[in-house]
Amino acid sequence: MMKQKTATTIAIANQKGGVGKTTTALSLAAGLAERNYSVLLIDADPQGSLTLSCGITEPDEIEFSLANVMTEIVKDNDFEITKGIVPTDEDFDLMPGNVLLSGIEVELVNTMQRERILDYYVEMQRSRYDYIIIDCTPSLGMLTINALAAADGVLIPTQANYLSVKGLELLMGTISKIKRRINRKLEIEGILLTMVDSRTKLARSVSEIVRSSYGEHIRIYTTEIPVSIKAAETAMQGKSIYRHSKSSKIAKAYQAFTDEFIESEV
């Protein structure tokens, strides 16, 4: 009897913005799809940056997005599990996000099992994919808590500077609380250093601090993602870094990271 597929769900989270979170989510999804894994990418950020980066130019005009999904679950309404999912030309699927998610946190205040609304949706999709990747909002609010409650692991991109590293302490505390109180299976997948300018002494110093402070208990990926204007251009182009500039240093770094990620999953 064939074993039923069950997706590994990864939340990509950091309460600090501008750390390459969305680029990492998109690059990982595209990299896994290139290696013939089936992937659902979920945009759980009201800014809709990931949705834009996937080529949807007007996220706020989408008829059925993640906000609608969560509203239907809150209201206990039935809906087709494929509704709203957008196939991309990079061979992964997208559940888009938009500004309507901003109202969801308010709506969830008086909702039963409010931390698990996104988890209900993820459970609907687990048998359809190898990986489900959730791009979180840059905060530790209810949307991020929902993502962490639904995830098997959390991947933390962090910029190679002092303030970003200090912010890790707060995020680690939140993850620890969610693991104890809501989602006992949640593990920290690893920390990925992003926007690294290896030419500077500061970046090398921060890298050493992260590895010495957290490396004994948490995986710190060997691959470091270099600072690059190419990453900022992907959103305007509506495609992953591989489609935009496959020969660039940052594309090669994300390819190496994807290989490292897959090896760590075995």
Q: Residue 42: which of 137, 106, 107 has the closest Cα?
A: 137
Evaluate if residue 24 carries a pLDDT over 60. yes
Edge to edge, what strands does the sheet with 86-87 contain?
86-87, 93-95, 39-44, 131-136, 8-12, 153-159, 187-194
Q: Is residue 182 part of a domain?
A: yes
Q: Is residue 1 part of a domain?
A: no
Under 8 Å between Cβ of 25 and 12? yes
Q: Which pLDDT does position 106 carry in this prediction?
A: 83
Q: Which pLDDT does position 4 carry in this prediction?
A: 61
- The structure tokens listed for 236 are 């305007």
Rg of the chain, C-alpha, whole Å? 18
Residue 259 CB partners (closer than 8 Å, separation 6+): none
What's this model's pTM, rounded to 2 decimal places? 0.94
Q: Which pLDDT does position 1 carry in this prediction?
A: 44
Q: Is residue 2 part of a domain?
A: no
Q: β-strand 86-87 against 131-136: which pairing, if any?
A: unpaired
Q: Is residue 133 part of a domain?
A: yes
Q: Is residue 3 part of a domain?
A: no
pLDDT tens-digit series, residues 191-200: 999 988 877 8
Q: Residue 160: which of 213, 206, 226, 199 has the closest Cα?
A: 206
Q: Is residue 185 part of a domain?
A: yes
Whole-number Å distance between alpha carbons of 12 and 84: 21
CATH number for the domain that contains residue 189: 3.40.50.300
Mean pLDDT of 25-54: 96
Q: Which pLDDT does position 210 carry in this prediction?
A: 85
Evaluate if residue 2 carries a pLDDT over 60. no
Q: Is residue 189 part of a domain?
A: yes
Full domain range(s) for residue 207: 8-265
pLDDT tens-digit series, residues 57-84: 899 999 999 999 999 999 999 999 999 9
* Cα atoms found within 13 Å of the Cα of residue 168, Cβ hemisphere only: 26
pLDDT tens-digit series, residues 124-161: 999 999 999 999 999 889 999 999 999 999 999 998 77
Provide the domain count of the chain: 1
pLDDT tens-digit series, residues 173-189: 999 999 999 999 999 99
Which residue is listed with tokens 């995830």?
151
Whole-number Å distance between alpha carbons of 249 and 87: 28
Residue 219 CB partners (closer than 8 Å, separation 6+): 188, 189, 190, 191, 264
**Which CA distances in Å does 202 have to 21, 205, 209, 223?**
21, 5, 10, 18
Whole-number Å distance between alpha carbons of 227 and 248: 11
Q: Is residue 238 part of a domain?
A: yes
pLDDT tens-digit series, residues 222-240: 999 998 887 777 777 788 9
Question: For a pLDDT cut of 90, what percent of the chain falls above it?
Answer: 68
Could you tell me the pLDDT band of residue 266, with boundaries at 50, 70 and 90? low
Under 8 Å between Cβ of 155 and 189? yes
Phi-psi region of 57 (alpha: psi -120 to 50; beta: other; left: phi over 0): alpha
Mean pLDDT of 39-61: 94
